[in-house]
Chain A
Amino acid sequence: MAILDSTSESDARRIARPSGVILLLCLALAAALLKPVLPAFLIRVPEWAVLPYDQWMQWLFDFIKDDLGLIHVTRTISAGLEWLLDITANLLYGKNRWPHIGPLPWSAVAAVAAVTGYALGGTRMALLAGGTFVWVALIGQWDLAMQTMSVITVAAPVAVLVGLILGLAAWKFPRFERALMPILAIFQTLPFFTYLLPAVIFFKVGPTAGCVATIVYAIPPMVLMTALGLKQVSDEVVEAGQMSGSTRWQMLRHVYLPSARTELLIGVNQVIMLSLAMVVLTAFIGMPGLGAKLLSLMNSLKLGRSFEIGVTIVLVAVTLDRCSKAWVVKQPQHFERGTPWWQRHRLLLIGIGAFVACLIAAQFIQLADHIKRGQDLSMGSEIDDVIRAILSNGVITSTTEWLRWFLITWVLIPFRNALLWLPSTSVILTVAAAGCFVGGWRSGMIAGAFFGIVALTGWWDRSIITVYAVISAVVLAALIGLPLGILAARRKRWADPILLACDTAQTFPSFIYLIPAIMLFGVNDVSVVFAIFIFATVPLMRYTIEGIRSVPDELLEAADMSGATRHQKLLAVQLPLALPTMAVGFNQAIMFAFFMVIIAAFIGTQDLGQELQKTLAGNQLGKNFVLGMCVALMALAFDHVIMRWSANRRKALGV
């Protein structure tokens, strides 16, 4: 009886849904076609209806800051952070602050890195970690890199700690979790400019603000992974702890936290990677370091040196990522009973030994202490020449020139104009229809409302230009990434290296992707789209490969035994089952694109990013927040629709 009921109910929903979708789509189409006769308020929200949200927000922020005295709290926090930052800054690059010990010789840091790498992942990791630091020193970027590292070494642990506490609270109090999760979702889609400005206003200009922005940006995954890890500690382990008579604190300390080790460490890995991504971007608020140098070099089109810095950033990213991932999978080793303590702590002793040896060596050998200007092996200008020579090659120039002309004239500009021409109502209705299609009326309302709010803020045109860049790039990425992914997934020999390449590419700070774009296409819309395109292709390919490869062998064998050709197998078995996973990749591509399009602001786009960048100069916190919310809401609308679809498919497939 109950079963009968539920099927008829879902049938009814299935009938209701398409009719709703068709209705919304028809309305959207009608709004577009009837534009000439449409009342003006349906085409764009009229000016009088755009309320001064930015001023209200500004007033609200001022109230919180000054009247409620939040500024005093944040000032206290920044004093504490500054103290920590001064210590790492002194140790790593010799900033003239307490404890006045540094800078540590580069050889000592590299030696410790190598031993740490060995402890985590054997010889290969030792070579990677040690090699990275040797490269940084030899190429003459030691101080820059250490300026960046000094912020990360403070920001990452603080973010881990705060994330851990919030995650614990979310796990303990479901109500807190329900309140926290939407906030985290917004945080994860807010453009980075919206992190930067409040940080500057509340926490002083300079490294402290950069550090705060980095911490806030890196917290969400730690919260999520902590809550997730604690939730999936197996019931029996929990019960075993309780039956052993553990108190609550003992349960947490000895049972929950150690059992959630894997998830917690994955959280740590993500915190480190996000910290690096953000700390590079704090260049926009004048934080010195690798990011700032890269920004100024790219602005002056010094491609050779940009390239070198890019390599450094990539090496640092790969090292941090690989080492923290090696830590995730590293299992404790047992020693036979009676092993002496120096054997148990062999690596620790070697690390200390190498550190001290390098310290002593640095006293006598200048090269081991620091690399002077002129001693470095930087070949920036030579690489510059080579790049210029390659780029001035007739074939390449004509190809990129033609591509640029073709894309701008025939694809990008017409598409942008079309989107701008559409009445807001039409766009909102289309988005609502998409939401309605995947998740019923509720999803339709949510998706439509998100875009509706954007329209009400009065930043519609800027927002649409942002969406245009995102969609163009993601479509381009899908056209190239999906077929490549499918091809790669079908050959095991290709799949593994490509997957590794994608994983590695995903660890690069987004900034890096602008280097080749600017090299090839100069400073214009095409290079923005191109940068987003490379950035977005990576997750698309990665999830396509993963989705196809995770189809169970039994199903493939069943298809083989049914006499399916490779082609039939792909179309009838692999793709349908891989689609939910591929949708996740698509979603990530769009989220990445929204992130990237804002960064591209400094190339000179006309979208929300540009406006956001302007707010940095004017300290317009209210406007900054409104613009940031526009980006976040649009991203969340896409996120909601795609993830909902993926979840529905998964449920329907029963996986």
Chain B
Amino acid sequence: MADAPVISCRNVWKLFGTDPEGYLPAAKAAQSFEEIRQAGYIAAVRDVSIDVGRGEMLVIMGLSGSGKSTLVRCMSRLIDITGGEVIVDGQKIMKLDERELIELRRRKMGMVFQSFGLLPHRTVLDNVAFPLEMRGQDRHERRERALEVIKLVGLEGREEYFPRELSGGQQQRVGIARSLAIEPDIWFLDEPFSALDPLIRREMQDEFLRLRGMLGKTIVFITHDFDEALRLADRIAIMKDGAVEQCDTPDKIVLSPATDYVAKFTEDVEKSRVVHAKVLAQPLNGHTPDGPAVAADATVLQLARQLVNDDRELLPVADNAGKIVGAMKRQDALDILLGPA
């Protein structure tokens, strides 16, 4: 992650109201969301600064009305921001003119929507080929590519169906296929699985993880489901009233919530499912504990049996390549597994 971030938000503000630009200085001085609301404005995004690195998956988590959807729309400039700046691939996107913006979307961005946003009058094939058609690719080429992506999301054989003839899960597969058709560098997903039944949602999450592993894209993923966030994210940004409360890895959020609000979410979470050995590992200080190492990527829960049976005080932690990266105190891990004594 030595590269410059792919998406960089600097003090981004988005106000809704009669004269947002005029009110912005006052909003910056305001103490709270409530104070701004009293003045007749809604601060959908409040002074947000976030970077998303290349190949990283950032999950933005928040309850409805927390501004998470607005924030992602600021990043893709579906909504014009009121203050601050958003830089995508080195370009300030508020400075782009209409043609450049269209070009950026045609080449680099894909987006998946909560209610799918499929065009009802087009077949699956035509829906998936839509972004290609918009950028003027010829019929044969775009058909080839569309068929390829449809196959990728597992909808082979349904190319000629209309959206209304598909189930919710299948429709969202179309949405995903469409967003991938142009091979975007940046992939926005706005609560892609919220409208689906729990079982289908789980299935789609697995499918999503598979695609993500294959494609290695920069991803901004929105959800109101904390478990989903923990399951999928490299980093989670938790939003409340338009502001980011905490932005960190799932392990750290669970281990040390920054605010009471974040703590409320983490309270009921089974921490052992989330926390990985590598997070608990401490520097070696030249001394390597004996015996077999545990995998850095393993969660505490996965190591549960070993933690209970092993009697060493310090366990070595090894990365994928087998190199010892640190040592984990067994007691720390047991505390997470069983709760503090």
Interface residues of A (CB under 8 A from B): 234, 236-237, 239-247, 250, 254-255, 258-259, 261, 331-332, 334-337
Contact = CB atoms under 8 A, between A and B. Distances in A.
A240 B171 CA distance: 14
Given A240-B111, A240-B113, A246-B102, A334 B161 contact: yes
A239 B111 contact: yes
Contact of B160 (A236, A240, A242, A335): A335
A334 B160 contact: yes
Contacts of A250: 134
Contact of A243 (B103, B111, B118): B111
B217 interface: no
Given A242-B78, A334-B123, A336-B160, 7 more contacts: A239-B117, A241-B119, A243-B109, A244-B130, A246-B134, A247-B102, A254-B119
Contacts of B116: 236
A243 B160 contact: no
A456 to B, nearest CB: 40
Interface string B40-59: 00000000000000000000
Interface in B152-187: 159-162, 164-165, 175, 178-179, 182
Given A250-B134, A336-B160, A242 B105 contact: yes
A246 B164 CA distance: 23
Q: How large is the interface on B (under 10, 10 to 19, 20 to 34, 35 or more residues)?
A: 35 or more
Nearest to A243: B111
Contacts of A332: 121, 162
B198 interface: no
Contacts of B179: 243
A286 B131 CA distance: 55
Given A239-B73, A245-B135, A331 B164 contact: yes
Nearest to B164: A331
A245 B105 CA distance: 5
Contact of B131 (A237, A244, A258, A334): A244
A237 B175 CA distance: 11
B82 interface: no
Contacts of B73: 239
Nearest to B110: A243
7 contacts: A236-B113, A237-B118, A240-B178, A243-B111, A245-B135, A334-B123, A337-B160
A258 B123 CA distance: 13
Contacts of B266: none
A245 B113 contact: no
Interface in B69-94: 73, 76, 78
B22 interface: no
Contacts of A259: 119-121
User: Which 10 interchain pairs have the tightest Cβ spacing?
Assistant: A245-B106, A236-B117, A240-B117, A244-B131, A245-B105, A243-B111, A236-B113, A258-B121, A334-B160, A245-B102
B199 to A, nearest CB: 24
B279 to A, nearest CB: 36
A336 B165 CA distance: 13
Contact of A236 (B109, B114, B133, B188): B114
A237 B178 CA distance: 12
B115 to A, nearest CB: 5
B294 to A, nearest CB: 43
Contacts of B119: 237, 240-241, 254-255, 258-259
A183 to B, nearest CB: 28
Contacts of A334: 123, 160-162, 165
Contacts of A335: 160
A252 to B, nearest CB: 13
A234 to B, nearest CB: 7
Interface in B134-163: 134-135, 159-162
Contact of B117 (A237, A245, A337): A237
Nearest to B120: A259
Contacts of B111: 239-240, 243
Contact of A239 (B78, B161, B165): B78
A244 B178 contact: yes
Interface in B270-298: none
B282 to A, nearest CB: 45
A261 B130 CA distance: 18
Given A236-B113, A236-B114, A254-B130, A243 B76 contact: yes
A245 B131 contact: yes
